[in-house]
């Protein structure tokens, strides 16, 4: 668990592919470079989509965890 404080939380629980990815792409630009976006999603495809998104766009995936309720929590630092 990383104690980095998110500047914004994006709740995509209940949304399915490609919505968590599209919402993340849109929301990452709403935080300042260096700040963190927290993404909550329960779409099974979100893990691979978001990891690929970070790698492709150059943003840093600080942490990824699966919570007890089936929700996945991503902390993404905007780097550009």
Of the candidates 7, 15, 17, 71, the residue annotated as catalytic is: 17
**Are 23 and 17 a contacting pair, CB within 8 Å?**
no
Q: How far is C-alpha 20 from the chain's CA centre?
A: 8
- 18 cis-preceded (ω within 30 degrees of 0): yes
Q: Tell me if residue 56 falls in helix, strand or coil.
A: helix
Identify whether 17 is a catalytic site residue.
Answer: yes
Catalytic residue numbers? Answer: 17
């Amino acid at each position: 668990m990383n104690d980095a404080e998110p500047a914004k939380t994006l709740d995509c629980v209940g949304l399915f592919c490609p919505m968590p990815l599209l919402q993340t792409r849109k929301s990452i630009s709403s935080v300042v470079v260096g700040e963190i976006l927290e993404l909550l999603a329960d779409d099974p495809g979100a893990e691979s989509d978001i990891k690929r998104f970070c790698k492709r766009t150059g943003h840093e995936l600080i942490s990824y965890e699966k919570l007890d309720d089936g929700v996945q929590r991503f902390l993404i630092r905007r780097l550009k």
